[in-house]
Every structure is written in structure tokens, then in C-alpha cells.
Chains A and B, each alone.
Chain A
Amino acid sequence: MSIGLILAIFSILVQVGLVVLVVLAVRHFGSRTGPRGTDAGTVRRFFQYLLLYGLMVVAAVGLSDLVGLLFQEPALAGDNRDTLARALTFSVFGIPMFAVMALWSRRRLRQDEDEVRSLGWAFYATVAPLTALAVDMFALHDVVSAVLAGQRFDWSALSRFVVWSAVWLVHWIAAKRMLDDDRRQGQLVIGSLIGLATSVTGVVWLLGASVDAILDQANTVLVQQNQLASAAAVVVVGAPVWVVYWLRTLSGGRRTSLWFGYVLPVGVGGSLVLAVVGASLALYQLLVWFVGEPASTQAAQHFKGTPTAGACVVVGAVSWWYHRQVLARATLGRTEVTRVYEYLMAGIALLAAAVGLTMVVVTLVESLVPAPAVEVGTSVVNSLLSGVTLLLVGGPLWWVFWSRIGRATREYGPEELGSPTRRTYLFVLFGLGGVVAVVAVLVAAFGGIQGALQGGFDAQVVREMRVPVAILLATGAISGYHWVVYRDDRSRLPVTSPQHGPHYVLLVGAPDGIVGDAVERLTGARVDLWVRADGLAGPWAVDDVVAAVNQSGADAVAVVAGPAGLETIGMQRR
């Protein structure tokens, strides 16, 4: 009883706390770019659009359930009236409430410019169409897979698909008309990501299952059509999403950081990882078959997963090539996005190579000190081959990206050496390597001491210590190498003098997403950008702004970009 009461009070407190947190977050983010007086409006918008979103879901669920009930087959026995009650409640009350709320929101959006630029509206116009898209995709998958597999037609999925498609279309058009291009890019990037991931998964699955079906035909007793139908349904669902979101919309959009963030780490990087993982798996299967100890003597059994691995290589390579072409057409200098991509790839490849090195050392010890009893289900040769595969794949890949980064350090000098991505990469590798090495030392020492206390330090104790020692060797090498690189970086970076410039810079002029960040990085001051409402703003030139800021002796400075150039005004708190 008392526990129940405590839990109930705790649950209420948690809910109240969450609401307070959300309100505080909205107030914080909402007041960063707008005047202070809009705080109440920001909280109002948060609840308004949250309610609008909830009502949209309620109305769509109610309508699709109701249409589904109309077409469902008659029951043999029993009938679920609760579903009908819910569908009727959601339709009869949810639809009018949503309509009233939507009308009110539309009027506010038309009357108030701040409303169109608000975070609440951007949140709704991003999340609502994506929710409809996700429900739509699952519904279409159910319809298509049932048709392709020759199963009973799923009317309820079809009604869900029709209703949620209408919801998606209305929100797609609303977002296109009432959300500026840059803020609409969030929806487009997530939609493209969903479309790409679904299409790639579907094509890999379909290719693998098809090759499996063809190769396995002679040995198959029962042909399982559901695999192929499900895979084909995933392609049918994913491809149109990718075409609408990426090919027809986002690919021609403005080249923002978000755009490059999708094309580079996801499009190019993700595809490369997919191809490399597929190639590694296929190579491993081949090596085990020819050199190692395969679990089955039948080729069909041993190479069962290889078609899917091969499909990963083909699809990953095509996707990688396509995104490289897209990137080549978009003029991109060496930005932080490029660095994130290259360091991420180098990191993943290095990790694979490190695991490979660890496995090679482990199998080396295993072969030198054989097990006292026969171990069932383990093969030293296969372990060695998996280690060699990872080294063969990860090593050269790491070298390709690391040498590319090395060329960039020579070409760009301090800009590259001092970049936050490089710093983070070096610290993460050095730090992670250090933590893992410490744990490995403790585990190895424990194993050694335990063995010595029990029966003396013999070959078997060395064998027991093989894994932590191998990890220690690999992480020690990585950590040490990157510490040397970091020290070398520091010696090549110019000594920075302490900042004496303003702590706060207010830029007033044309809207520009880059100038604020650049000035913040180059001056070390906190920067806010306000847009001139009179339309007289001249274009920003980062070097001129930085020069103007540095020349000012004030603690805070406003830089106004007008038709005649920059005007600098020193400011102080009262």
C-alpha cells in the first residue's frame, strides 16, 4: 500500500519534472535568437503544436481504424467492440478538435511572422510528416508483402496506408509553403535517410535471398516465398521515399552543413562501411574454406551467408560511387564536415585493424601453448583467419584515410592541426586506448597472480593471460602512436596569445548561417546575429568583421552591416 503510494507520488513528480524541464528548455532555446518578450509565446507555441501533433495522430488513427473495420472480414466468433469504440471516439471527437486547432494555428501563422519562424512550428512541420511517412511505410509493406506472398489481402493495412498518405501529403505541402527552405531541410534529410536505409536494406536482402534461392534450388525441400516477398516489399516501400525526399527534393537543395552531413558521413561513409563489412565477411568465408577448418564440408552449407555479404559489397559500392558523384558536383572545400567524415572512417578502420591484431596475437599464443584438454568448437586457424581478414581490410583502409589526413595537415597547416575534429579524434583514441590498457593490465595481472598462487606461473597461466595481453599490446600501440601525433601537432601549432578582444559581439545585418560561427571561432567571443528589418544590410565579409571586432577596445561590441559598410559600436552594461 505504502509502496504503491510512494510510486504514485514519484510518478507524478517525474511527470511534473519533465514538463518543467521541457518548458525551461523551450524558454532557453526560444529566447536565444528572439527578443526576451517572446518567452510566454514560446511556451504557448510548444503546447499548441504538441497538442496539434497529438490530435493529428488521434484523428488519423481513428479514421484509419474505422475504414479498416468497414472492410474487415466477418468474425467466426467474438467481436472486439473496444476497437470500434476507440475508432468512433477518435474520429467523432478527434477530427473536429484537430480541425479547430489546425485552423487556429494557420490563422496565427498567417498573421504573425514570428510564428512562422518559431521553433514550435518547425518542430511540428518536421515531425508530423515524418510520423505519417513512417506509419505509411509499414502499412505499404504489409499490403505489398501479403500480395507478393499470396496471402490474404490486408484491408486494414490498406486503409492505414490511404489515410496516412493523405495526412503526409497535406503536411508535405504545408511545410513546403510555410517553412523556409533551410529549416525544412531537417525533414528532408531524415526522410532521405529513412528512404536510403530502407532501399539499401531491401536491395541487399532481395539480392541475397534471390541468389540463395537460385543456388539452393537443388537441395531445397520447401521453397520459402515469404523471404523474397518481404525483401521485395521493403524495396517497394523504400525506393519511392528515397526518390521523393532525396532525388527530387534534397539533392537540388542548398549545400548547407546538414546537406553535406547527409551526403558525406552517411552517403559516402555509410556505403563504404557496408561494402567493406560485406567484403570482409566474404573474404573470411573464402579463407576458411580454402585454408581454415570449415564447419561443413558441403560448399552450399558453408557459403550460406556469402550471397548476402556479396550483395552488401555490390550495393555498398554502387551507393558509394553515386554519393561520390553527387559530392564531386557540389563544390566543397575542406570543412569540418569533411574532417568528421575522414577521421570517422580512419577511426572505424583503425578499430577493425586493432581487433584483427589482437586476434592474431591471441591465436599466436594459443598455437605456441596448446590447450591441456581438447576444446570442442574452437579452431585456432579460423580465429587466425578472422584476425588476418580484419587486418587486411582495416589496415589499408586506415592507411588510405590517414595518409589523406596527413596530406591535409601539410597543406592546411594550423587550420587542420587545430581543428576540433582532429583534437577530438586524437583525444578519444588516446583516452579510450588508455582506459582499455589500464583495464587489460588489471585483468592480466589478476590472471597471473591467481595462477601463481594456485599452482605456480607456468605456460598455462601465460595462455590464460593471452587476451588481456593482446588487447594491451594493440591499445598500447594505438594510444602511444596518437600521443606522439598529438605532441607533434602541438609543436607545429603557433603559440596562441591570450585573448584581449571583446567577450560579446552582436552582428546586425543580413541573415547568414556561417558568419556567426566563423567570427565566434576567430575571436573567441560569444556572437549573436540579428537580421536588419529594413532590408538595408550589406553582405558579410568575415575578415572585415574580425578586423572591426579586434580594433574595438570595448568589452562588448555591435557590428552593423549597412549599405556604406560596417559600423562598429562599443557597448557596456549599465
Chain B
Amino acid sequence: MNRVLSVFVGAVVLLAVVTGVVVARRATPALDPHTPEGVVQQYLQAVVAGDYRVAANLISPSAGCDISDVASAYNPGTARIVLNHTAVDGDQAVVTVDVTEGSGEGPFESTGYSHTERITVARDGGVWKITGSPWLLSPCASTKG
């Protein structure tokens, strides 16, 4: 009986380790940068990495934002951002993402909170560019209105 239980516990632990390895090695899929969600992905990756120059280059001139606005805007730091859906209407698109921000330092602390955000994108000269986001681009003219 105890041996069966030991084997079972060992199998569960082994399975847990394998699952952990699979999850840890899973690469983030790179979306097509010529699509609204692709440009949003590039922008978010740049913001999270603190690469504000790359992020600023992805913003449309009509947004009224420059690199100083991007750098002074909110940076989520540790966050997990998942694509919810994309709504395209001609040269305009809204990309909705689910964000889980923050995490506790210890094992018994909270694993953060989740919220949904919308990022607007527009085609400018055949290239999709970020035009606004109340979440990440609040200092910009387009978001202020």
C-alpha cells in the first residue's frame, strides 16, 4: 500500500517537474508585425523591456506622443499580457489585451491582479501604428482627447 502511494507521489512530482520544464521552455509566439496585434505585441515587449526608443517608433505621429511621453508613462514592470481579441474596421483597429500585473516576492504572497485594456491602432502609410491607450499612453494628446 505504502509502496503504491510512494510510486503515485513520485509520478505526480515527476509530472510536475516535466510540466514546469514544458511551461518554462515555451517560447512566446511572434505575431506578424504587419497586423494590429503584431504591432501591439512589439510595442508591449519594448515597454516591458524598457526600450522606449523602439516603443516610440511604433507610435503614430497623430497620437501626439514622443519618447519622453512613453518614458514617463506607466510601466507595468512584471506583467503577463495575453491577447483577448482584435476588432479591425478599415484602417482603424482596437486590440484588447488581458493583463496580470505584479507578483509577491515570497511564495505565500499574492500573485497579482488582472485587468483588461484596449489599445487603439491605425494604418498610417500602409503600416499599423499605435494611436492611443488609456493604460500606457495617458500623457499623450490622443488619449487626453
Contact = CB atoms under 8 A, between A and B. Distances in A.
Contacts of A77: 28, 41, 44-45, 47-48, 79, 81
B112 interface: yes
A96 B81 contact: no
Given A76-B81, A80-B78, A99-B5, A63 B111 contact: no
Contact of A87 (B20, B48, B83, B104): B20
Contacts of A152: 84
Contacts of A85: 107
B26 to A, nearest CB: 7
A78 B44 contact: yes
B4 to A, nearest CB: 12
A356 to B, nearest CB: 44
Given A80-B112, A83-B103, A92 B76 contact: no
Contact of B111 (A78, A86, A92): A86
Name the prevailing secondary structure of the A interface residues: helix
Interface stretch (B9-17, B59-67, B127-135): B9-17
Contacts of B104: 82
Contacts of A95: 9, 12-13, 16
A89 interface: yes
Contacts of B13: 91-92, 95-96
A63 B12 contact: yes
Contact size class for B? 35 or more
A139 to B, nearest CB: 15
B20 A66 contact: yes
Interface in B27-79: 28-29, 31, 37, 40-41, 44-45, 47-48, 76, 78-79
A80 B103 contact: yes
A73 B20 contact: no
B41 to A, nearest CB: 5
Nearest to B38: A76
Contacts of B112: 80
B20 A78 contact: no
Interface in A242-281: none
Highest count of chain B CB atoms <10 Å: which of A77, A88, A89: A77
B61 to A, nearest CB: 23
A76 B97 contact: yes
A86 B104 CA distance: 10
Contact size class for A? 20 to 34
Contacts of A73: 82-83
Contact of A103 (B5, B23, B47, B84): B5
A11 B44 CA distance: 42
B76 A74 contact: no
Contacts of B29: 74
Contacts of B45: 76-78
A305 B33 CA distance: 50
A299 interface: no
B28 A66 contact: no
Given A95-B12, A95-B16, A99-B5, A76 B111 contact: no
Given A75-B28, A99-B5, A80 B16 contact: no
B108 to A, nearest CB: 9
Contacts of A86: 107, 111
A317 to B, nearest CB: 40
A79 B80 contact: yes
A50 B98 CA distance: 37
Contacts of A79: 28, 80
B82 A76 contact: yes
Given A77-B45, A78-B44, A78-B76, 10 more contacts: A66-B23, A75-B81, A76-B44, A76-B82, A77-B48, A79-B80, A80-B100, A80-B103, A91-B20, A92-B13
Among all A-B residue pairs, the 8 with the closest Cβ atoms: A77-B44, A91-B16, A82-B103, A77-B45, A88-B20, A80-B80, A99-B9, A78-B79
23 contacts: A69-B19, A70-B19, A72-B82, A73-B82, A73-B83, A76-B44, A76-B45, A77-B48, A78-B44, A78-B48, A79-B28, A80-B80, A86-B107, A88-B16, A89-B107, A90-B107, A91-B13, A92-B16, A92-B17, A95-B13, A96-B9, A99-B9, A103-B2
